[in-house]
Amino acid sequence: MKSAGFCPTFHKLEGYFSSRKFITLRCRPKRSSDGKITAVIPRQHLLALTGPELVSFIGELGEPAFRARQVFAALHHRRLRSFEEMTDLPKELRAKLDSVATPSTLNIESRYLSADGTRRYLMKTHDGLPVETVFIPEERRDTICFSSQSGCPLQCSFCLTAQLGLLRSLTPGEIVEQVIVALNDAYGVGQKPQHGTNLVGMGAGEPFLAFESLMKALSIIADPNGLHIVPNRVTVSTAGIVPRIRELATVSERPHLAVSLGAPTDEQRNVLMPINRKWPLAELLGACKEFERSLKRGERFTFEYVMLRDVNDSDEHARQLANLLNRHELRVKVNLIPHNAAEPLPYHPSSRGRVESFKSILEAKGLPAFVRRPRGQDIFAACGQLAARREANPAQV
């Protein structure tokens, strides 16, 4: 690993990643009879295919369905990231596959380990864009936080990812691959997770602006013959893309929903989260109500509220927030997230006392409120800190 300031602890954790080469060729050339390149055909990212799609893809290569099942297991169950490792497949088939498809496209550039055990992976897409994923170990279960976009278009003023702007939305394969990378690193290639794994779509980007990719990725991730992480284990967070909240309300197999509020009034939310100018609070909470009505047993729906010192954390803000949610008859759990430092942004986390006072006002007005413990702050892995930072804070590692 080459980058200056790279966390030395990671050298010790270095496993199979070190052997992975930079992926530069994602396309195969199509040649005319005299050997000239006439077109470039992108290779199919196999992780973007559902089981049945893989059967057709492999069928088109003249191979029987059982080969597709073998490949699916190799990709999603054994979590292999190269055809060379799939030694149960005939060599010729591996060569054939390699000419038209790829089992992995993300290149792991660096990994950072937090003092609290959180790991952050900084990867590059085949076209050179940053993708970040975070693995958060917990006592009874582990959580993988994946990104849905490279960068983000939403410009929330308290979030570092916003500074990247939108580079592009990620493909279903790139979302699935993040989970595979994190699982392999945390447990070993193909090893069964020691705990249950939860997923949260709270990394870089706005998942509901990558809705199709997201939903397809989640269906692939849920496959019992593969990763088998079902939607009930997944929570997706949105800044408030109203049409997609309404759409999700009609979907039966769906992840849990979290909606980021960040401010109790349109006036303030317009500034902190400019998406509010497109879908103001009344519209957003109307869609939330519709979603709440569609909830089935066991489904969770939460609000998130980032707490910015002296900006949105006063008792008055708490009362406004509680009244707003009560007006819309939304007795939904509120997660309070103390702001994670995101220099050069001009915000600071609210003090403990302030957070507690805010929380008790919400509770007194009938809203269950919880304070989220930040994880991985020292390696820029916490909420709102993902901005493709290459340095870690060595003092805390």
**Contacts to ligand SAH by CB under 6 A:** 158-159, 202, 206, 237-239, 260, 262, 304, 306, 337, 339-340, 342, 383-384
* Closest distance to ligand SAH from the beta carbon of 84 (Å): 36
* Closest distance to ligand SAH from the beta carbon of 251 (Å): 18
- Cα separation, 121 vs 195, whole angstroms: 20
Measured CA angle at 293 (ends 289, 299), to 5 deg:
105
Q: Considering the complex, state which of residue 103 and residue 384 has its C-beta at the smaller distance from ligand SAH.
A: 384
Contact 26, 13 (CB under 8 A): no
Of the candidates 176, 168, 99, the residue with the CA atom closest to the CA atom of residue 130:
168
* Closest distance to ligand SAH from the beta carbon of 206 (Å): 4
Closest CB to ligand SAH belongs to which residue? 384
Which is it for the CA torsion 308, 314, 318, 323, positive or negative? negative
Catalytic choice (145, 156, 159, 383): 383
* Closest distance to ligand SAH from the beta carbon of 21 (Å): 31
Query: Counting Cβ atoms within 10 Å, is residue 279 exposed (0-12), middle (13-18) or buried (19+)?
Result: middle
- Establish whether 212 is a catalytic residue: no
Q: Considering the complex, state which of residue 49 and residue 263 has its C-beta at the smaller distance from ligand SAH.
A: 263
Bridging pattern class, strands 196-201 and 369-371:
unpaired
Q: Considering the complex, state which of residue 186 and residue 306 has its C-beta at the smaller distance from ligand SAH.
A: 306
Q: Considering the complex, state which of residue 166 and residue 220 has its C-beta at the smaller distance from ligand SAH.
A: 166
Q: Considering the complex, state which of residue 48 and residue 336 has its C-beta at the smaller distance from ligand SAH.
A: 336
Of the candidates 286, 365, 356, 283, the residue with the CA atom closest to the CA atom of residue 320:
365
Report helix, strand and coil shares of the chain as percent, to nearest 5: 35, 20, 45
* Closest distance to ligand SAH from the beta carbon of 120 (Å): 15
* Closest distance to ligand SAH from the beta carbon of 383 (Å): 3
* Closest distance to ligand SAH from the beta carbon of 146 (Å): 10
Contact 108, 1 (CB under 8 A): no
Q: Considering the complex, state which of residue 186 and residue 209 has its C-beta at the smaller distance from ligand SAH.
A: 209
CB atoms within 10 A of CB 186: 19
One DSSP character per residue, 59-73 reads: HHTT--HHHHHHHHI
The DSSP 8-state label assigned to residue 128 in this structure reads: S
Q: Considering the complex, state which of residue 185 and residue 304 has its C-beta at the smaller distance from ligand SAH.
A: 304
- Establish whether 329 is a catalytic residue: no
| Cα Dmax for the chain | 79
One DSSP character per residue, 142-206 reads: EEEE--SEEE-SS--TT-SGGGG-EEEEPPHHHHHHHHHHHHHHHH-TTPPPSSEEEEEE-SSS-
Catalytic choice (63, 109, 132, 174): 132
Residues with a known catalytic role: 132, 383
